[in-house]
Amino acid sequence: MEQFRNIGVIGREGNGVVETLNRLLTLLESRQLTVVLDDSVSALLPDHGLRVSPRRMMGETCDLIIVVGGDGSLLGAARSLTRHNAPVLGVNRGRLGFLTDISPGEIETQVGAVLDGEYVLEKRFLLDVEVLRGGERIGRGDALNDVVLNSGTSGHMMEFELYVDGEFVYRQRSDGLIVCTPTGSTAYSLSAGGPIMHPRLDAIAIVPMFPHTLSSRPIVIGGNSEVKMVVCDSNVVNPPVTCDGQVKITTQPGDIIYVRKKPHKLRLVHPIDHSFYASCRDKLGWGAHLPLEDSDD
């Protein structure tokens, strides 16, 4: 296992974040580790006396990045850090926390164990999206969870064509389409009726959003597939494309959207006892409301 000596800390303002950051920094400094803060954490902790680095540069100097916040914080960090191959560990200050799976009360034990080399490492792939207009690229982005094309207006359907690996799949009227990774299958896609995919799967899910045709259902394709969406000329709206709900590209009728797997993967660090199925039981409440069986006594 890798031994981590240079630790980057990323976070953003939120309920209890400063308290958790102080607790984390106390642990790291007690172990005489080199700590580098990103700009947003530095602003939350005046007079900290530690090194500060722009987030996009932290992967070059740090051998472990710890993100304090919710899954949204980790999603943003992942997109900027993946190309540096720096492993990322999440401390949850959000709600569900599928990606940030260490609770603030477990920092000393769980983060301490990771620093001692007791952890598991998962690789998660991201999606790359580019939007072409008249053959010229007018926008691009990447996503750890999902790429979403939607009408951009409440109660107004849009029309688009879908192709996979150059083969026509269908022309659809709906609120839009979600293209998600296994990581994103427990996020927005799940709310739209998409399948839950194990993180180790090399697959992409395509999930329609309220399609006008009731027979239209989610499709799971190979992870190396190329997804193409064409915004039909019949649209009277300019549909946005979003990446993890954080990056937005506005399209026009006639634009073409390509979605492909990125070559670089996120290296996600988990505590040694991490279980995807246990996370599902905990976060999604699987079996939480089952009645107890009657005793035969």
Cα torsion 281, 195, 263, 147 to 10°: value is -110
d(CA 175, CA 159): 8
| 215 in Cβ contact with 172 (< 8 Å) | no
71 part of the active site:
yes
Catalytic residue among 38, 71, 101, 175: 71
Residues 99, 184: contact at Cβ < 8 Å?
no
Distance of CA 121 to the CA centre of its chain: 16
- For residue 120, the tally of other CB atoms under 10 A from its CB is 14
Rg (C-alpha) for the chain, rounded Å, is 21
Are 149 and 229 within 8 A, CB to CB? yes
Cβ atoms 241, 131 nearer than 8 A: yes
**Residue 204: closest CA among 233, 254, 171, 169:** 169
Answer yes or no: are the C-beta atoms of 60 and 38 closer than 8 Å.
Answer: no
Catalytic positions are 71
